[in-house]
Amino acid sequence: MLIRKIAAAVFAVLALGGVQAVTAAPATAAPRILYYDASQAQEFKSVVDQGAQIWNSRVTNVRLQPVTAGRTPNIRVYADNGWPRAYTSSLGNGSWYMGRQAVNQGYYQPRIAAHEFGHLLGLPDRRTGLCTDLMSGSSAPVSCTNPNPNTREASTVNANFASAAAVPARTFVWSGAQQ
Ligand SMILES: [Zn+2]
């Protein structure tokens, strides 16, 4: 036990002396700001903003803000005729598409937007079929109009950003058939 404590102390000293200090985020830490660019989201710009606001109202450790001039966005949002989908490069970074294939099938647009942002916030698909789960995505009925993460999903996102969780690069597609 003592050796473990000494090792931890040595590691902490080394970390502080290193280029990147690894420290636990205090509870009062400022949220990580992620800038998103919806300028290429075509007719879905406002629903992209809505998806961001949904997350901002439910998590504390990260905030999604529209990118300001001259700044490189963390997240780029596009629109096309395919399935909604997300491409993550690391936690909080990547891009997603508002896909008209799901919109035209009647899936609720704010739910799609919040779901795809959810991938950028480190959540995988969980095809539970439940409308109460945001990350159930297309497995919930088309009639599902719940755009909100449940408490487990929100707390997972808070934990991801509290610990700067490592998230591998991945592609997530709205339609289960294409996974
Ligand atoms: Zn998904």
User: In what order do the strands lie in the sheet containing 93-99?
Assistant: 62-66, 32-40, 75-80, 93-99, 85-90, 170-173
- Give me the tens of pLDDT residue by residue for the chain, a chain 179 residues long: 455 555 555 455 444 444 445 555 455 679 999 999 999 999 999 999 999 999 999 999 999 999 999 999 999 999 999 999 999 999 999 999 999 999 999 999 999 999 999 999 999 999 999 999 999 999 999 999 999 999 999 999 999 999 988 888 999 999 865 44
Residues flanking ion ligand 1, Cβ below 5 Å: 125, 137, 172
Tell me which residue of 79, 161, 165 sits closest to 116, measured CA to CA. 79
Is residue 43 among the annotated active site residues? no
| Torsion angle of the four alpha carbons 143, 133, 37, 43, in this order, in degrees rounded to the nearest 10 | 0
The CATH superfamily of 31-178 is Collagenase (Catalytic Domain) (3.40.390.10)
Residue 27: its pLDDT value, please?
A: 55
- According to DSSP, the β-strands at 85-90 and 93-99 are antiparallel
Q: How close is the Cα of 6 to the center of ligand 1, in Å? A: 44
**Residue 71 alpha carbon to ligand 1 centre in Å:** 27
Rg, Å, the chain Cα set: 18
> Could you say which of 38, 114, 116, 120 is catalytic?
116
Expressed in angstroms and rounded, the spacing between residue 60 Cα and the centre of ligand 1 is 22
CA of 7 to the centre of ligand 1 (A): 41
DSSP 87: E
Helix, strand, coil content of the chain in percent (nearest 5): 40, 20, 40
Q: What's the CA-to-centroid distance between 2 and ligand 1, angstroms?
A: 45
